[in-house]
Amino acid sequence: IKHLRSAGDLDAATATLILDTAAEMAALSGREVKKLPALRGRTVVNLFYEDSTRTRISFEAAAKRLSADVINFSAKGSSVSKGESLKDTALTLQAMGADAVVIRHSASGAPHRLSNWVDGSVVNAGDGTHEHPTQALLDAYTMRSRLGRLDGLRVAVVGDVLHSRVARSNVLLLSTLGAEVTLVGPPTLIPRDVVAALSKTTKVSYDLDSVLPDSDVVMMLRVQTERMQDSFFPSAREYSRRYGLDVTRMRKLPEHAIVMHPGPMNRGMEIAPEVADSPRSTIVEQVANGVSVRMAVLYLLLGGK
Ligand code: CP
């Protein structure tokens, strides 16, 4: 594939190749090989129109570990504030010879539009409420490395599905790789039509307590209050009582089950601090795995040597 704009771009063989390549990248890093020459002479542009901590830093680290030249662009402080369009920004990057553009944008579909204007590869680093495919890949990588498989794994994705690009990409990727996904949350935050369009096999539940004993993985989503109107169900306290993962609830999980969160977290809302910091939590591991997965994505898209 040339671009990674959606987790739906990946068939099972390609997704597995990315995960296997990421494992090789991680093994090399573990052997103290800090830098590989694979992308020497190639240019990767990080084009961030929306704030980010994890994704931005890990794409930069990934490109640098592969010896690429990295240009970091953030909308803040650029000519975007003077009204320059995405297309004109793209043409500027094209003129500078970008081999890959990693884009985060508040508009769903921005990576697709960008790929019409640049010759290089486009990687979606999160577009609006649409998708975040490299997050889904690093989540799948983390599940596979902790639990040994993806096929048949029972994954509960919990909370604000409506606004979550992470949930959408996970549903697509995990379904492709044979996991059984159950979306859990209040009816107002689970768009059934969207879920049905994404996957025929994904289940929906409004009762977290009944789903936990049959889950191998519970993935808590950030409640995106900034994207909500005044309809927030029905209050933060009530949300937390029904759908927050606290220690008592975590005990309902099977002993081997893991707890995930893509970050940033609302500690005390969707996840209790004791749960986020517990041995079952893979939250910090997910961030570390993100670098290996993004190395693999850049390496494979750019045909690294
Ligand atoms: N998980 C994630 O996308 O985090 P950032 O917004 O910090 O990149």
Q: Does 104 count as an annotated binding residue? A: yes
- pLDDT attached to residue 255: 97
Q: Which of 54, 60, 266, 289 to mutate to test the pocket of ligand 1 (most atoms within 8 A of CB)?
A: 54
pLDDT above 70: residue 257? yes
Q: Does 14 count as an annotated binding residue? A: no
The Cα–Cα gap between 72 and 60 comes to: 8
Could you give the count of Cα atoms lying within 13 Å of 196 in the half-sphere of its Cβ? 3
- pLDDT attached to residue 44: 97
Residue nearest to atom 3 of ligand 1 (CA): 55
Q: Does 77 count as an annotated binding residue? A: no
Domains of the chain, start order: 7-131+287-301 (3.40.50.1370), 133-283 (3.40.50.1370)
- pLDDT attached to residue 237: 87
Predicted TM-score of the model (pTM)? 0.96
Q: How many angstroms separate the alpha carbon of residue 288 from the centre of ligand 1? A: 13
Taking residues 11-38, what's their average pLDDT? Answer: 92
The ligand 1 atom nearest the CA atom of 55 = 8
> Which residue has 């495919």 as its token pair?
133
Closest CA to 185 of 127, 276, 269, 272: 269
Name the more confident of 288 and 234.
Answer: 288
pLDDT above 90: residue 291? yes
Instruction: Please write the tens of the pLDDT for every residue from 108-147.
Output: 999 999 999 999 999 999 999 999 999 999 999 999 999 9
Ligand 1 cavity residues, CB under 6 Å: 52-56, 126, 132, 135, 262-264
Q: Does 222 count as an annotated binding residue? A: yes
SS3 readout for the chain: CCCECCHHHCCHHHHHHHHHHHHHHHHHHHCCCCCCCCCCCCEEEEEECCCCCHHHHHHHHHHHHCCCEEEEEECCCCHHHHCCCHHHHHHHHHHCCCCEEEEEECCCCHHHHHCCCCCCEEEEEEECCCECHHHHHHHHHHHHHHHCCCCCCEEEEECCCCCCHHHHHHHHHHHHCCCEEEEECCHHHCCHHHHHHHCCCCEEECCHHHHHHHCCEEEECCCCHHHCCCCCCCCHHHHHHHHCECHHHHCCCCCCCEEECCCCCCECCCECHHHHCCCCECHHHHHHHHHHHHHHHHHHHCCCC
Contact indicator for 144, 150 with CB cutoff of 8 Å: yes
Q: End-to-end distance of the chain based on CA atoms, in angstroms? A: 17
Measured CA distances, 126 to 4, 103, 114, 215 (Å): 11, 7, 13, 27
Contact indicator for 217, 143 with CB cutoff of 8 Å: yes
The interface predicted TM-score (ipTM) is: 0.98
Q: How many angstroms separate the alpha carbon of residue 88 from the centre of ligand 1? A: 26
Contact indicator for 92, 266 with CB cutoff of 8 Å: no
- pLDDT attached to residue 305: 63
Instruction: Please write the tens of the pLDDT for every residue from 212-254.
Output: 999 999 999 999 887 776 566 668 889 999 999 999 999 999 9
**Structural tokens at position 28:** 């090399």
The ligand 1 atom nearest the CA atom of 51 = 6
The Cα–Cα gap between 124 and 74 comes to: 15
274 CB neighbour count, 10 Å cutoff: 12
What is the torsional sign of CA 109, 223, 134, 59? positive
* Residues forming a β-bridge with 45: 71, 101
Closest CA to 224 of 209, 213, 236, 206: 236
